[in-house]
């Protein structure tokens, strides 16, 4: 029997668009799902670049007006891969039009936008319309397995959460003023771009909310060159046009969780030599786990209930078919990569939409992360502990 079809329209075709395209292409080839996806339309602003991207990434059609897609009966899902400044407008309109929505993280640029998106998602749910925010690291098999261990009580009462996300791609002061360094487009810098990931992961793994933070944020390079634009620019000492960096380069914060655990978080784009170093360690009364994304198929686990003579941390290679998502892939020991986390994301989203279940992380989960980010910014600006709005 033929399966129902889900027509996908993806808006945006840069880095995230390329990754999502690969995931949409792969998901039905490796997972037996209750629906087949169809890469129907790729949407963007530049018609020439758009057509080249569609041909490369395997989309059937192109469009330059996302609003027109909401009127098409052959479009079931709107996949939002645009900068954060457009997330709210597109997502709310799509949900009101009856389209399921997958939106990249962070959910929005502001708390007010995230609240409006979540309200729209709540209203749409009553009409059978589903929505999800794309925190792909939840779909790393080792981290999904870590959540199972914690949920099964293997770590006991959680005491400490340590998380970091370290990059170095803007260390050079001559790196240009791209959109990710402009608050009106990106919302925030390292905090929202990569700090959002570890804020979500920490809360997801321990199944608890951050309730209070105290934070420090810093912008190390405050003026950067921007070729090809003149509005709002000044001249540097060398005569090149420059513009102001309006987001953070680094964000650090301490956190309290509702269940009594405490946490430390660091997100920076100035960790020289670090390319995409995301790591977490969680300590509980009965054990600990540690994870390093640069070794993403491994999880370190310490069982503190064993005899101390043999209770050291042990490395678990998370590639067995009994581990989360792994039954669909390769024989044990044949490791997965970054792109597979997005295929797992699409797998969970398609299955939820096709079976009428609300997928996670929901827009409400994205809103909780946005509340943490907002509290971090407030704390850093005012120099005090800040409660996370509930």
pLDDT band per the 50, 70, 90 thresholds, residue 1: low
- Give residues with Cβ within 8 angstroms of 389, minimum separation 6: 111, 371, 374, 375
> Global pTM?
0.95
- Cα dihedral 129, 130, 131, 134 sign: negative
Is the confidence at residue 46, as pLDDT, over 50?
A: yes
pLDDT of residue 235: 47
Indicate the pLDDT class of residue 230, thresholds 50, 70 and 90.
very low
Kindly tell me if the per-residue pLDDT of 200 is higher than 50: yes
Percent of the chain with pLDDT over 90: 94
What is the tens place of the pLDDT at every residue in 154-174? 999 999 999 999 999 999 999
Mean pLDDT value across residues 229-240: 49
pLDDT tens, residue by residue, 77-112:
999 999 999 999 999 999 999 999 999 999 999 999
Q: Hey, what are 159's tokens?
A: 């005491």
User: Which residue's structure tokens are 């949407």?
Assistant: 43
Whether the predicted pLDDT of 229 surpasses 50: no
DSSP string, 227-241: TT--TT-EE-TTS-E
The pLDDT, as a whole number, for residue 226 is: 83
List the domains of the chain with CATH numbers. Answer: 5-137 (3.40.50.720), 140-387 (3.30.360.10)
Residue 231: pLDDT above 50? no
87 within 8 A of 57, measured Cβ to Cβ: no
Residues 302-313: pLDDT tens digits?
999 999 999 899
Average pLDDT over residues 185-198: 97
Q: Predicted confidence band at 228 (pLDDT cuts at 50, 70, 90)?
A: low
**CA distances (Å), 385 to each of 11, 159, 216, in order?**
38, 20, 11
């Amino acid at each position: 029997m033929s399966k129902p079809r889900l027509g996908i329209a993806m808006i945006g075709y840069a880095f995230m668009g390329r990754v999502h395209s690969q995931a949409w292409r792969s998901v039905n080839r490796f997972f037996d799902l209750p629906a087949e996806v169809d890469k129907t339309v790729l949407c963007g602003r530049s018609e020439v670049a758009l057509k080249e991207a569609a041909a490369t990434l395997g989309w059937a059609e192109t469009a330059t007006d996302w609003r027109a897609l909401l009127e098409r009966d052959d479009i079931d899902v709107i996949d939002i891969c645009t900068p954060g400044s457009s997330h709210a407008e597109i997502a709310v309109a799509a949900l009101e039009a009856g389209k399921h929505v997958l939106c990249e993280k962070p959910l929005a640029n502001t708390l007010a936008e995230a609240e409006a998106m979540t309200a729209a998602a709540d209203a749409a749910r009553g009409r059978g319309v589903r929505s999800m925010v794309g925190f792909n690291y939840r779909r790393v098999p080792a981290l999904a397995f870590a959540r199972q261990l914690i949920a099964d009580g293997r770590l006991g009462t959680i005491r400490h959460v340590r998380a970091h996300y370290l990059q170095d791609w803007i260390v050079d002061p001559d790196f240009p003023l791209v959109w990710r360094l402009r608050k009106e487009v990106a919302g925030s810098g390292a905090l929202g771009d990569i700090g959002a990931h570890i804020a979500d992961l920490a809360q997801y793994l321990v199944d608890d909310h951050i309730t209070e933070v105290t934070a420090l944020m810093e912008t190390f390079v405050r003026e950067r060159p921007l070729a090809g634009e003149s509005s709002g620019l000044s001249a540097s000492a060398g005569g090149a046009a420059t513009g102001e960096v309006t987001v953070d380069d680094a964000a650090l914060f301490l956190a309290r969780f509702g269940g009594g655990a405490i946490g430390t978080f660091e997100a920076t784009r100035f960790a020289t030599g670090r390319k995409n170093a995301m790591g977490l360690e969680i300590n509980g009364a009965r054990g600990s786990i540690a994870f390093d994304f640069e070794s993403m198929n491994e999880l370190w686990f310490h069982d503190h209930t064993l005899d101390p003579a043999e209770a050291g941390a042990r490395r678990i290679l998370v590639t067995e078919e009994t581990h989360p998502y792994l039954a669909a892939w390769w024989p044990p020991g044949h490791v997965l990569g970054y792109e597979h986390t997005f295929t797992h994301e699409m797998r969970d989203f398609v299955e939820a939409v096709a079976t009428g279940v609300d997928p996670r992380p929901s827009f409400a989960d994205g809103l909780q992360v946005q509340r943490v980010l907002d509290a971090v910014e407030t704390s850093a600006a005012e120099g005090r502990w800040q409660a996370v709005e509930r």
